[in-house]
Amino acid sequence: MQEPVVDLALVREHGLLEDEYEQIRQILGRNPNYTELGMYSVLWSEHCSYKNSIAQLKTLPRSGGRMLVEAGEENAGLIDIGEGLAVAFKIESHNHPSAVEPYQGAATGVGGIMRDIFTMGARPICSLNSLRFGSPDDPHNRFLLDGVVAGIADYGNCLGIPTVGGEVAFDDCYSGNPLINAMSVGIVDKKHIASATAAGIGNPIFIIGSSTGRDGIHGATFASVELTAQSQERKSSVQVGDPFMEKLLLEASLDLTREHLISGIQDMGAAGITCSACEMSAKSRTGMRIDLDLVPQREDNMSAYEILLSESQERMLVVGLREKHEEIIAVLKKWDIPWAEIGVVTDNGRVQVYEGEVLKADVPAVSLVLGGGAPVYHRESREPDYYRKLQVVDACAFPEPADIESLFLKVLASPNIVSRRYVYEQYDHMIGAATVIRPGGDAAVVRILPTGKYLAVTTDCTSRFLKLDPREGARQAVSEAARNIAVTGARPLAITNCLNFGDPYDPEIYWQFKEVIAGMGEACRCFDTPVTGGNVSFYNETPQSAVHPTPVIGMIGLIEDSDAITPSFFRRAGDRILLAGTIRPEIAGGEYQRLIQGKLTGKPPEVNLAYELNLQRFLLAVTGEKLLSSAHDVADGGVAVALTEACIGDPAAPLGCRVELPFQLRPDLLLFSESQGVVVMSAQPTAVKRITALAAEYDIPLADIGEVTTRGLQIGSMIDLPLEQLSDIYHNTLARILHPEV
């Protein structure tokens, strides 16, 4: 064994607290050596152990509905969709790596979340992303966005998985610390679900995929500290991806699970071999003996510490069935996958790491992992001083603007409003020919082959609402995701989440986190959409400030009748336009307030969860009876923007509208309010009577506000603009902003 570590400065350098080091000494009955210290430091980091968040996460609804496994039990959530099939889905962050190396940071984020899906035995069918950057006026933010989008596009396109949806938002709080959240969705036959276990004493352990290098060492601990000016020096903590190797791994992994040749499989993501070996052993209450001399290495003279902590991409740890040894090798050779047999499952509960006959580490597996010996903290929380001060401000107490039409064009041209076509056209969103509703709508819809069922998928979060009121903002994020699913004709089933916050040791940040968890839980319980798992990303801050609390909600929904699928844009001139819901003067935290007032004050729009549930049921009823031509959630920018998007959402066949809004509000507050639970719908005149009856049945306010036309956007006497002008602003502005030199 190596010499034991007694240098507390080295302990702190590894991100461990002194009392955590003492806890490690008690577990081992001795001082850890340098390799063991590294193993504990990565698995006890926030990124791996959730030590500052798990106590709160356990208060969320983590079972129920159609869930097949409780949150956190496997690499991804599993939802039963009938016919012997399940959906595996998850979202994770790759924020810090993307801040210092945007292309590889984003690319490897996509690769990592894909591996979490196919290690469940599921074939990925689509991916989404939620991206947040500082102002696009800053050249560095534009550089980050271009690198991130290129990384996502290149990796996903090479892998052959369509990127079908997501969001891109801009706010000064993300300057220097962009948020890059990637979501993947897959389908698995329930007979072939794989697990991250190391069962079967004597079973062989394989490492398959790429060789091990020094890239990504301490990537997990890098993700557990704030970004500083020195972060650029840590590019070695950013992994390098190979999507072509990932494609081979995908196919080989699915063959291994489908043919029942293995007892367990896990991606070597954060913390590499250390994470996979310890977590798989702990889950099975077994152990592993691993010989690092057998691990394929692409760099010379790598130490045990480096091999165990490397986060080189496209590697899997596989526990094979010893009686299927030859069949396993045949599958790996079939797909031309590099492999090595590096160890064996043992019965002593310990991960014992050797170099030849020299023991380099000997640790109890359970002691390192979440749910075992990893520490759990209840951090101090304190309501921030700013919270009450902002709450008492009347956001609507400012003079009425004179020129509504010019104001509307300014709102429409905001980088947070205009089409993200510049981004999503770089992704292949049609590969596989299963995408039915493409990027740009409320939610994407993909066909589940070979069934007649469809999935609706979305990611959502309005972080400015969460800055004003974290609990109400979290309720809003879940509600908007469910609304975006329901307007497509899908029934919301479950969520995954990516919770992005600042430093959890800051009591005010931790208060935000606790409030978000509470609000999210309230909404998910109301909608019966359990939380299947996800990711917590703390330390998203620079020396200047933390990001707004940004809990990105990834949601899936199920459509069982193709005729119920409903797009977000108008489809037929002469259709009646209906408005479900009530518009109130609520601009706090909205895009209008950001653009016109340049500040963040007031109470965000109120969320009525009981009403939102009724609205979902109403939408499922009207889409289920095929009564609607279109349905579109009113969100960023208010009803004026929603009507515009409904007119020009299909750039190949734009249509106009002529409407009168039945609310006695100041024009700007009427047009740009972001009141919740409001939906713009269109339907043939003959369907209006039945829609009205269903609205009454579900207690949903409904108004017939006008008709679909063949010319411009007309909203009362306030707005009368040609479609050509609106389409040019909406579809082309983002490219002009991001590349002003063109």
3-state secondary structure at position 74: coil
3-state secondary structure at position 168: strand
CB atoms near residue 659 (< 10 Å): 22
Runs of H (alpha helix) within 124-191: 139-159
**Listed residue (671, 680, 731) closest to 708, CA to CA:** 680
Judge whether 94 counts as a catalytic residue.
yes
Choosing from 14, 47, 218, 548, which is the catalytic residue? Answer: 47
Which residues are paired to 318 by β-bridges? 206, 265
Q: Where are the beta strands (DSSP E) in 562-717?
A: 576-580, 630-633, 656-659, 679-683, 702-709, 713-715
Taking a C-beta distance cutoff of 8 angstroms, is the pair 466, 460 a contact? Answer: no
Rg (CA), the chain: 26
Taking a C-beta distance cutoff of 8 angstroms, is the pair 526, 480 a contact? Answer: no
Q: How many residues does the chain have?
A: 742
* Residue-wise burial string across 468-497, b where 16 or more C-beta atoms lie within 10 A, e elsewhere: bbbbbbbbbbbbbbbbbbbbbbbbbbbbbb
3-state secondary structure at position 271: coil
| Structure tokens, 731 | 């579809």
Helices 638-648/723-738 angle, 10° precision: 100
Taking a C-beta distance cutoff of 8 angstroms, is the pair 653, 554 a contact? Answer: no
**Helix (H) or strand (E) segment spanning residue 479:** helix 470-486
CB atoms near residue 358 (< 10 Å): 13
Q: Given the structure tokens 């590019």, which residue do they identify?
A: 235
Distance CA 484, CA 479 (A): 9
From its phi and psi, is residue 626 left (phi > 0), alpha (psi between -120 and 50) or beta? left
Judge whether 47 counts as a catalytic residue.
yes
3-state secondary structure at position 178: coil
Round to the nearest angstrom and report the end-to-end CA distance of the chain: 61
Distance CA 566, CA 680 (A): 12
Which residues are paired to 354 by β-bridges? 291, 359
* Amino acid identity at 399: P
CB atoms near residue 143 (< 10 Å): 12
Choosing from 94, 96, 548, 632, which is the catalytic residue? Answer: 94
* Amino acid identity at 92: E
* Residue-wise burial string across 204-224, b where 16 or more C-beta atoms lie within 10 A, e elsewhere: bbbbbbbbbbbbbbbbbbbbb
Distance CA 710, CA 708 (A): 7
- For the chain, how many helices (H) and strands (E)? 25, 25
Distance CA 81, CA 379 (A): 38
Contacts of 399 (CB under 8 A, 6+ apart): none
Active site members: 47, 94
